[in-house]
Amino acid sequence: MGELNIPETIGVMILPSCTLFPHGALPLRIFEERYKEMLNDALEGDPLIAIGASLDDPTGLPELDSAPVGTVGLIRACVRDEDLGGQLILHGVMRVKFVEWLDGKSYPRARIEPIMNTPLKEGSDAEERLRAVVELHTLSMPEEIGMLFRTFLQKCDDPHIFADLVCHHLLQDPEVRQHALEIEKTEDRLNFLEGIVLD
């Protein structure tokens, strides 16, 4: 992942109630003609596409239909259909801003700007507080699932990845998920998640 080059422009799937987080996985079935073209272009070049959450009342114009922040995903597995659609697993790589929507393709395509991780404030305990809240939350899960989830998160020692994994696995409401994706500072995201998971 560290050697993955993120292109300046990328094809974007604009999907209702769908938010992909970095380090999360998203299964997709490609059947629309425009997205078949996008998949083919990605597989012939950089195997990357972005996911943008669609807003209400789509207009058919990407700049009006998509939320301003999405996630670039790496195609980790793909099985093509006879009609060149397919099923794939997309692995979230990086949150990005859609800064300009481009013409020239049948599918939405955008110039993107990466949103980089930000360090926590010196002496911050935001990660530790969230870990404690998540630990309590897992006690309400079925025992085996809670134990597996705790073990999974304990192995993650990076606050940025930890925050995104909590977002991916514990946030259910599409609007809350999208809001969390758009929080640029990791510290702010950790604090936001503490309140949400407590609820």
**Mean pLDDT for the chain overall:** 91
By CB atoms closer than 10 A (0-12, 13-18, 19+), residue 190 is: buried
Residues in the chain: 199
Q: H or E segment at 156? A: none
Rounded Cα gap, residues 92 and 42, in angstroms: 15
pTM of the predicted structure, to 2 decimals: 0.89
Name the β-bridge partners of 72. 50, 94
Query: Does 199 score more than 70 pLDDT?
Result: no
Query: Does 101 score more than 60 pLDDT?
Result: yes
Query: Does 140 score more than 80 pLDDT?
Result: yes
Supply the pLDDT for residue 129.
94
Supply the pLDDT for residue 57.
66
Distances in whole angstroms, Cα of residue 52 to Cα of each of 9, 13, 48, 87, 165: 14, 6, 13, 18, 18
**CB distance 10 to 95 below 8 Å:** no
